[in-house]
Amino acid sequence: MRVAVLAGGVGAARFLTGLLRVVDAADVTAIINVADDERLHGLWISPDIDTVTYTCAGAIDPGRGWGLSDESWRAMDELRRLAEAGGRADLAWFNLGDRDLGTHLYRTTRLAEGGRLSEISAEIAHAWGLEMTMLPVSDDRIATRVATEDGELSFQEYFVREQHAVAATDVWFDGAPAAKPAPGVIDALEQADVIVVAPSNPVVSIGPVLAVPHVRDAVVGRRDAVVGVSPIVGGKALKGPADRLLHELGHEASVAGVARMYSGLMATLVVDTVDEPHVGAVESEGVRCVVTPTVMNDPEIAASLAQTCLDAAGAGR
Amino acid sequence: MRVAVLAGGVGAARFLTGLLRVVDAADVTAIINVADDERLHGLWISPDIDTVTYTCAGAIDPGRGWGLSDESWRAMDELRRLAEAGGRADLAWFNLGDRDLGTHLYRTTRLAEGGRLSEISAEIAHAWGLEMTMLPVSDDRIATRVATEDGELSFQEYFVREQHAVAATDVWFDGAPAAKPAPGVIDALEQADVIVVAPSNPVVSIGPVLAVPHVRDAVVGRRDAVVGVSPIVGGKALKGPADRLLHELGHEASVAGVARMYSGLMATLVVDTVDEPHVGAVESEGVRCVVTPTVMNDPEIAASLAQTCLDAAGAGR
């Protein structure tokens, strides 16, 4: 059973670890958001790709949820020392671990010599022993921009530097209209038995994936085989600013609001047991609703959730 | 007594530590080679500036002679692991320590926001508590190019990657003819009571400093106040490829050869005691010769050498 997963960062990565327990890795393709990539200190940083890679490799730091375990911070400490000595503490807002820097050095060098992000991501995944296919949604540059009352921010500036504590008035994806899907993306969507929209932020993680021309159409064309997992549980995001962002941008931070956003492209939405009272509201959006534990505190729950998604897609056809 | 020092890497850095023991730091200006700078993995690396900074701050690794003491290599280990997994071990030829990376991250970021290399070098020197003036010879890009039988190399490719084991057929400095001296360079040369040409490689360290328009003229105009320290001791370079390079490029790897290269711009050359037999050969090039221990195995010798240079310049006028 071939499975394609539209993926953002932490939530998607945990879902994938579960999926890899119930499906052969060779049959899994993760199609990953790249619009929160950032060039910082000269380095090319791809946070969602790295989170998926490190998590599926069992190398993610479980406490932080991002970056590598057994990490050290000596480069960062030195950068911060130099920045602070010059009154420029503002230069050291994005934490880069020493081991993690190795990834960024490799990626930046390969990009500079003309490598495509999809090739490079595959090389890094291979080095970690991963057997699933990891595809950035595009090899072209797509950049999430967040409009706030204080001006326009990149996604990492919004998310990390400002700790998503500023109100967003608009979000858009620079470069998306001209971007091409990375090689393999459309094929994976067309050939998948099941397409899962992972429990990632619908606006800033799944939004840019769908904004790449042909991707949304490919997903819509497979609507009966598409299953989403709601990133909103009991009206809240488990992590990050999804609930606030949905509110601020005129959506409803609820499973019904998620169903409304996604109803054109999926037949089934999986929601957490705490949202059982809202099954009717979800289904009134034209989306079948499946209830199961979705808070992936351990790999068993993630595996069970993945199996539920596969079963739901089978039932939906 | 104001002293300006034309500087390359290790030899110049050791000389400067000696000089700072005998002259007020506020009266010392180091004018440093930047033609072996390299953009690598997206980072801007200035090896000679860093060697001078770290050495004068007492933070250099004494064993290696470059990079920081108490260093770790976790980023590099990870880069190498990724590179080797993809059959690209060739990407990991330049060792970057974790702490050292902090310097490169800071410099690259400041350059990207429009900072001049001279400002940034001063900021880093300040963070290390250095009170001497550190000036890259130019804020413009100058790149040493080394022609070999196998093609053209950057200096770091020649020096580090190839371990200077290939024969050089030519050396030139891309960008030098159009470069401007960094602010303060010409003033420092004009106002110095003594100008020291440090014991650095005449071709690839001092050569590019003198290749910046107006710098050679400023030095030549002060010829009586200029004292050089021979980087060749007993016909050999203490470190690096100076002896071979001199040979390959048609110079003589001896104190007399150094005197011949420098006779137009200095009145005095300081040579090591092992070269006492060659005083006549040096002086026949029109350069006064002073003999003293120049192998700076400890700071006392470096301080004594620096004092000898200052005395020699006084005697030369």
pLDDT in tens, A216-233: 999 999 999 999 999 999
The residues with which B152 forms a beta bridge, in sequence order, are B147
- DSSP letters of B141-166? --EEEEEETTEEEEHHIIIIISTT-S
Q: What is the pLDDT of residues B198-243, one digit of tens each?
A: 999 999 999 999 999 999 999 999 999 999 999 999 999 887 777 8
Return the amino acid letter for A173: F
Indicate the pLDDT class of residue B274, thresholds 50, 70 and 90: very high
Rg of chain B in Å (alpha carbons): 19
pLDDT number for residue A120:
98
- Backbone φ, ψ for residue A103 (5° rounding): -60, -45
Q: What is the pLDDT of residues A86-108, one digit of tens each?
A: 999 999 999 999 999 999 999 99
B271 vs B291: CA distance, rounded Å: 5
Structure-block tokens of residue B34 = 């930047």
Return the amino acid letter for B161: R
Chain B contacts to A (CB-CB under 8 A)? 40-44, 72, 74-83, 85-86, 91, 96, 98-106, 108-110, 112, 123-124, 126-127
User: Looking at the partner chain, which of B40, B42, B74 has a beta carbon nearest the beta carbon of A98?
Assistant: B74
Subunit contact B82:A124, Cβ cutoff 8 A: yes
B170 vs B225: CA distance, rounded Å: 31
User: Looking at the partner chain, which of A40, A78, A102 has a beta carbon nearest the beta carbon of B103?
Assistant: A78
Q: Give A310→chain B minimum CA distance, Å.
A: 33
Nearest chain B residue to A121, by CA: B82
Nearest to residue B76, comparing CAs of B50, B41, B111, B107?
B41
Contacts of B101 in chain A (CB under 8 A): 75, 78-79, 98, 101
Subunit contact B75:A108, Cβ cutoff 8 A: no
Q: What is the pLDDT of residues A185-221, one digit of tens each?
A: 999 999 999 999 999 999 999 999 999 999 999 999 9
Percent of chain A having pLDDT more than 90? 90
pLDDT number for residue A241:
77
The residues with which A290 forms a beta bridge, in sequence order, are A270
The DSSP output letter for A56 is H
User: What angle do the packed helices A74-85 and B117-127 form, to 10 degrees?
Assistant: 100
* 3-class state of residue A228 by DSSP: strand
Subunit contact A41:B76, Cβ cutoff 8 A: no
Q: What is the pLDDT of residues A63-77, one digit of tens each?
A: 888 999 999 999 999
Residue B15 pLDDT > 90: yes
Are the beta carbons of B199 and B294 closer than 8 angstroms? yes
Residue B316 pLDDT > 70: no
Indicate the pLDDT class of residue B150, thresholds 50, 70 and 90: confident
Subunit contact B85:A112, Cβ cutoff 8 A: no
The DSSP output letter for A239 is S
Higher local confidence (pLDDT), A239 or A282: A282
pLDDT number for residue B238:
83
Residue with tokens 């360290």: B205
pLDDT number for residue A63:
87
Contacts of A126 in chain B (CB under 8 A): 85-86
Other Cβ atoms closer than 10 A to B237: 18
Contacts of B83 in chain A (CB under 8 A): 106
B287 vs B260: CA distance, rounded Å: 8
pTM of the model: 0.94
Q: Give B265→chain A minimum CA distance, Å.
A: 37
Nearest chain B residue to A99, by CA: B75
Residue B148 has, within 13 A of its CA and on its CB side, a CA count of: 18
Mean pLDDT within A285-290: 97
Nearest to residue B240, comparing CAs of B82, B11, B2?
B11
B9-23, B155-169, B274-288: lowest mean pLDDT where? B155-169
Subunit contact B79:A106, Cβ cutoff 8 A: yes
Q: Give B148→chain A minimum CA distance, Å.
A: 22
A27-36, A142-151, B267-276: lowest mean pLDDT where? A142-151
B22 vs B33: CA distance, rounded Å: 24
Nearest chain A residue to B105, by CA: A41
The DSSP output letter for B267 is S
Mean pLDDT within B37-63: 96
Helix H or strand E encompassing A28: strand A28-32
pLDDT number for residue A315:
61
Q: Which residues contact B88 (CB under 8 A, 6 or more apart)?
A: none
Indicate the pLDDT class of residue B315, thresholds 50, 70 and 90: low
Subunit contact B75:A112, Cβ cutoff 8 A: no
Structure-block tokens of residue A24 = 């052969």
Q: Give A46→chain B minimum CA distance, Å.
A: 15
Contacts of A76 in chain B (CB under 8 A): 102
Subunit contact B106:A79, Cβ cutoff 8 A: yes
User: Looking at the partner chain, which of B79, B108, B123 has a beta carbon nearest the beta carbon of A42?
Assistant: B108
Residue B55 pLDDT > 90: yes
Indicate the pLDDT class of residue B301, thresholds 50, 70 and 90: very high
- CA separation (Å) from B270 to A6, A294, B110, B273? 70, 77, 39, 10
Nearest chain A residue to B123, by CA: A86
ipTM score: 0.94
Mean pLDDT within B13-33: 98
- Number of helices (H), then strands (E), in chain B: 13, 14
Q: Give A234→chain B minimum CA distance, Å.
A: 40
Q: Give B103→chain A minimum CA distance, Å.
A: 6
Residue A317 pLDDT > 70: no
Nearest chain A residue to B97, by CA: A75
Contacts of B70 in chain A (CB under 8 A): none
pLDDT number for residue A127:
98
Contacts of A40 in chain B (CB under 8 A): 109
B8 vs A306: CA distance, rounded Å: 60
Other Cβ atoms closer than 10 A to A197: 32
Nearest to residue A124, comparing CAs of A50, A179, A204, A27?
A50
Structure-block tokens of residue B115 = 């900072």
Nearest chain B residue to A81, by CA: B127
User: Looking at the partner chain, which of A72, A82, A108 has a beta carbon nearest the beta carbon of B72?
Assistant: A72
Contacts of A129 in chain B (CB under 8 A): none
- Backbone φ, ψ for residue A146 (5° rounding): -115, 120
A133 vs A125: CA distance, rounded Å: 8
A250 vs A300: CA distance, rounded Å: 35
For A18-33, letters b (16+ CB in 10 Å) and e give: bbbebbeeebbbbbbb
- CA separation (Å) from B41 to A41, B165, B308? 11, 24, 43
Long-range contacts of A107-113 (CB under 8 A, 24+ apart): A107/A43, A107/A44, A107/A45, A107/A46, A108/A42, A108/A43, A108/A44, A108/B41, A108/B42, A109/B40, A109/B41, A109/B42, A109/B91, A110/B91, A111/A44, A112/B42
- CA separation (Å) from A274 to A57, A233, A293, B235? 30, 7, 8, 82
